Amino acid sequence: GLRMKIFALFAMLSYFLAQGVVWAYLFLIGVKAGIGEQEVANALTLSQFAGIAGALLAAVVGARFGRALPLMLGIAAGAVCLYFIVGEFSFLVFAATTFVYNFAWNMTHPFLMAAMASFDLRGRVVVYAVAMQMVGLAIGPALAAAAIGDGQFVKVNILGAALFVLSLALILPPVLTQAKLAASAMQGSRA
């Protein structure tokens, strides 16, 4: 119903707030850790290829495992990655983390959009979801700036991880409810 659609839309907002919080500061997080600017830029650039792989995986996997499992794995991976880039860390850790982070982000996004499409045959939820996505990406960097305060980026990572966890908590109930409804409809059509 309407409540589940609202949960899903706020999940999208929370997920993209997390993305806006984190992505805007990944370069500075890497530099603050003592990694050279060019190395950080190279890692972020190359991580885009991991993002392509994540999106392709979503296309290949499709609905084979449902939506809940890929969403849980992808959103959790985004949150867990932030643990590894706190304080000082090596270039290898930064590169690996940004690769996994970008892979997870781009694998998760298609599953989020597919979930949104499944909630409304008229397509209105998807339209609102894209608006929530853009609001999250627009506001996220400002939230992160307010959280930084003393120049330490650990608060950015904590905020990003908390927003990822919130998005997962918000998206699972509607996704699981929709899966049950779809399964019931399939069994009903077979009877």
How many whole angstroms separate alpha carbon 86 and alpha carbon 96?
Answer: 14
106, 52 Cβ separation under 8 angstroms? yes
136, 15 Cβ separation under 8 angstroms? yes
26, 44 Cβ separation under 8 angstroms? yes
**Residue-wise pLDDT tens digits, 91-114:** 999 999 999 999 999 999 999 999
For tokens 């892979």, what's the residue? 103
For the segment 84-89, the average pLDDT, to the nearest whole number, is 90
Domains annotated for the chain, with CATH where assigned, are: 2-175 (1.20.1250.20)
168, 76 Cβ separation under 8 angstroms? yes
**Residue-wise pLDDT tens digits, 128-157:** 999 999 999 999 999 999 988 777 899 999
Sequence-ordered list of residues with C-beta below 8 angstroms from that of 43, at least 6 positions apart, any chain: 30, 35, 91, 94, 95, 98, 99
Secondary structure of 97-136 in HEC code, one letter for each residue: HHHHHHHHHHHHHHHHHHHHHHCCCCCHHHHHHHHHHHHH
CB atoms within 10 A of CB 160: 29
135, 13 Cβ separation under 8 angstroms? yes
pLDDT at 160: 96
Query: Which pTM was predicted?
Result: 0.92
How many whole angstroms separate alpha carbon 27 and alpha carbon 39?
Answer: 10
Q: Is the pLDDT of residue 191 over 80?
A: no
Q: Considering only CA atoms, which of 159, 157, 141, 153 is closest in space to residue 35?
A: 153
